[in-house]
Chains A and B, each alone.
Chain A
Amino acid sequence: MSIVDIPVEDAGALAAGRREIRRDIFRDLRRSPTFIVGSIILLFWIICAIFGPVIAPHSPYAQNLLGINKAPSSAHWFGTDQLGRDMFSRVIVGSRDILIIAPLATLLGTVLGTVVGLFMGYFRGLVDDVLGRFVEAFLALPVVVTGVIALSTLGRSNLVIIVVIGLLFTPLIARTVRAAVLLERELDYVAAAHLRGERAPYIMFVEILPNVFAPIMVEFTVRLAYAIFAVLTLTYLTLGVQPPSPDWALDINANYGVVPAGYWWEVLFDALAIASLVVSITLISDSVQGALEG
């Protein structure tokens, strides 16, 4: 009997090879200077957001009316603002709100967008047409203008910012997910699931979803950078994060008027912080995209 039982082609060597390739994607990422630089900057800001009050040499809120508008010095590395608060401490702690609001807003948009995209791509036809009209209508709304209107009518709270930006991002993500699902649903494993009598939710969420995870990941990182920008813009327009938060955009709004008077440090370091955070996310999203698309 043993001779009939053909030894199966040995998968060992091949399997090892494939596993190596997957490990190589991570190795690629770790070796990619883009990814490393982006991660270091992001990690720095995450640490600041979590441990800010501990790291900061002064309280970001402590006013010192005797030392207002002081230029950077060894006592106050980034100088002090119009109320004599330590700018360095404010920049450090100022990362907290944005790093809570922007990721939550993006996450909300991604989850909703993924669900909408799965429905559109999977059912096509009428579902796609109807949802598609909504998506197109939403896509036509400019994020900041809509945000301004929503925040001024619904009230200014972090929750409203998260919901507004999340909803505005939903159609963008839905569009990407829909395109990926349209390709996936033509594959035979979906037909095999139909032949097993699987229901639509199972096919969408268990069979298809894991296979469209890569484009969702890329879209998430791209959107995150935009979300940071949008939140800070709204804050700058005084509709977002509210005082006394040491938020960067809030500080810029409060201090830009005194720049002509020569107090540049009260704006510059906040601006640099914003730029570095956005750039770090963009670097990460570029390298993730590159690694996934090989």
Chain B
Amino acid sequence: MTRALSWFLSLLALGALGLMLGIFTWQSGPVWQAEGIGYLTGGRWFFRQHQFGALPMIYGSVVVSLVALFLAAPIGLGAAVFTAEYLPPRARMPVKTLIELLAGIPSVVYGLLGILLLRDWVYERFARFDPLSGDTLLTAGVLLAVMILPTIVTLGDDALRAVPAAQRRAARALGLLRAESILHVVLPQARRGLGAALLLATGRALGETVAVFLVVGRQDNNLPSPWYSLRPLLESGQMLTTKLGGAETHIAWSDPVHWAAIVGLGLILLALTGALALFGAAFGRRSDA
């Protein structure tokens, strides 16, 4: 009886997950039919004209996440090295707890802080590039960097601590300095776990909706030209998540193709974040095998 109950509940939960996948795939069908591969590669999204190209949003999501990673990874990994290698044991628990607590700040609160603190700062700092407002992809990227910082520190710390103490001891006993044991013994052995930490943090960044919604500008069809130009960073942009969180989702229901396009964005997001989560888990677990 207990066994049957466990199976039932598990299948209910996993069934919900499967249902979600199924619904997203099925309901996005019409837009794949209408646009084909152009859905992913098209750079124009004008829903009234039934033109649906998701590339600007994919670009927005990816570039904002990369900016966040670029800013947060060095600081986060440095902080992780500090907590794992330099912090005395009695201070570890309080500091780790503090960082995990701070990781729990809700995204809407971050959004509020972004509006207050970050918008004007970006607008003024980059004034010579003549931005139209402080709501840009860069603003979103910087905000996201602060949001994923605690995640990187916590997961990075775990990865470094997974390296056995005997390795550090053996290195120090040879006469190596602490920094040398960190650089030549601990970091190389923690590579896998640190990579997993960054992958998981990137996944979090890609999926963030509300905080970036408030500061990214939500301007469609912003693609760089030429492709390597950094100009869009200082312009308002759109991300997969911010489009989903916007008004279109509510009004698209009545139009099958429009709705399919919206759900399709969800499917792309699901594929990207799901893949990152899976890679991150696989990467990380092999390091402690």
A binds B: no
A residues in contact (CB < 8 Å) with B: none
